[in-house]
Every structure is written in C-alpha cells, then in structure tokens.
Amino acid sequence: MKQLTITHVVVIALMAVFLLVAMDRAGALRGPQPTYTPPVAAAAVPAAVADTEKGKPPPHNDKVEDLPDGKGREVTFYTCTACHGVALIKAQGLTRDLWDSTFDLMLEKHRMPPVKPAERAEILDYLSEQFPPRRRGRNADNPFLK
C-alpha cells in the first residue's frame, strides 16, 4: 500500500469538517431546542397592575395655586398639567393666537385628548391674560431691575 501523503490527510480532514458542519446544520449534534412561547396577551395582565399603570400620577407635584389666580385657572390646570408641570406654561409669554397654536401643538403632536370648544376658549382667555408676550430687550427678565 502506498504511503499516506499530506494531500490525503488534508482531504480526509476537510471531508470530516464538511460532514460535521452538515450534521450540525441538520440539528443532529444539538439537543432539543427551546420552543417559542408568545408573550402573555395584555388582557391577561392582572387588573390591579393595569390600573396602576393607567392611573399614573402626573410627573410633578404642582397644585392649582401654582398658577396665578384668575378666571379659568382650574380648567387650565386640569387640562394642561396631565403631562407636564405649570413651569413649562409659565415660562411662555404669548399672544392669544400663539397660545392657540400651542394648544393645537399639544393636541396634534403630544396627543392631548380633545377639549370642548367652550373650555378651549376659557383656557385661551386665561393663558393670554396671565401670560402675555413680555417686553422685549435684554433686561426684560432681569430681577434686579424690578
């Protein structure tokens, strides 16, 4: 019998590798695989958990009194502070038209629930009266010049 050459060794080794890869791909070398279990449907979540999620308190501790007194303060507070505090509102000074656009922004971009037209008018009156455009100029917000 002829001597085993390096070529024989390489060919036999390659065949062994191919065979192992083929068996592995066929799953012959692996044990039982975990099966996919779909996540629990939302309806199956216990009611108590779902309720705490839904009834989440707003992300601030503001009270009605944190808005300046005036007609429409309550409706403004309860409509506008479900998602943010009063600070975001107080920081603005806008005309009624621009408060109107802000209102649309909250409805369209931030998905605020719809508001009745009468309430919307009351809120816009309140906002434009309490937070009108501020005087322009570099010293307008300087507390030491008051």
Residues that bind ligand HEC (CB under 6 A): 79-80, 82-84, 88-89, 92, 102-103, 106, 110-112, 123, 127
Amino acid at 124: L
Q: Whose Cβ is closer to ligand HEC: residue 23's or residue 88's?
A: 88
Q: For the CA atoms of the chain, what is the radius of gyration?
A: 34
The residue whose two tokens read 């505090």 is 85
Q: Which of 89, 88, 91, 85 minimizes the C-alpha distance to 61?
A: 85
Q: Whose Cβ is closer to ligand HEC: residue 24's or residue 129's?
A: 129
Q: What whole-number distance in Å separates Cα of residue 62 and Cα of residue 124?
A: 20
Nearest approach, Cβ of 103 to ligand HEC (angstroms)? Answer: 5
Q: What whole-number distance in Å separates Cα of residue 96 and Cα of residue 124?
A: 6
Nearest approach, Cβ of 54 to ligand HEC (angstroms)? Answer: 14
Nearest approach, Cβ of 115 to ligand HEC (angstroms)? Answer: 7
Q: Whose Cβ is closer to ligand HEC: residue 111's or residue 138's?
A: 111
Q: What whole-number distance in Å separates Cα of residue 119 and Cα of residue 115?
A: 7
Nearest approach, Cβ of 92 to ligand HEC (angstroms)? Answer: 4
Q: Whose Cβ is closer to ligand HEC: residue 27's or residue 132's?
A: 132
